[in-house]
Amino acid sequence: MSRAVDIRCYCHGLGDCILVKLHDEEADSAFWMLFDCGIHSAAKGGADVVRTIVEDIKTTTGGVIDVVVGTHEHWDHLSGFTQAREIFAGIEIREVWFSWAENPKDPDARKLDRYKGDAAAALPARPSGCRRSRD
């Protein structure tokens, strides 16, 4: 059996958007997975950049994505679903996967939200010249 994996990482600045194609050459079929689709809010013209990317995703996949994976809730990972809503409306998305930690009904996940807030509040002010790392 001959299988191939193609990975397209959209390098559009701070943010993540990765399109994966799993291709079974014998069956001549493709399975498409999109991991995140976002750009940092400080990116100049970010919404336009994301819309261009989503148009490319639509063309590349033939308008069908088997699975969308949202790795976590940060804007630079998910903003494209808002910024390019009208383009995504023309794409068939068969499944959406999120981490259990994003389930609003999971009590352990809600406890983690509290810890995230506590950790953010505990961060010291950054001295000038220090940069915060990417997500």
Q: What is the pLDDT of residues 31-58, one digit of tens each?
A: 999 999 999 988 899 999 999 999 999 9
Convert 69-102 to b/e letters by CB count within 10 Å (16 or more is b): bbbeeebbbbbbbebbeebbeebeeeeeeeeeee
Q: What is the pTM of this model?
A: 0.77
**Range among 59-63, 101-105, 130-134 with highest mean pLDDT value:** 59-63
Residue-wise pLDDT tens digits, 104-121:
888 888 887 776 666 556
Transcribe 18-46 into DSSP letters.
Answer: EEEEEEETTTTEEEEEEE-----TTSTTH
Strands 3-9 and 64-70: unpaired
Residue type for position 46: G
Confidence class for position 134, pLDDT limits 50, 70, 90: very low
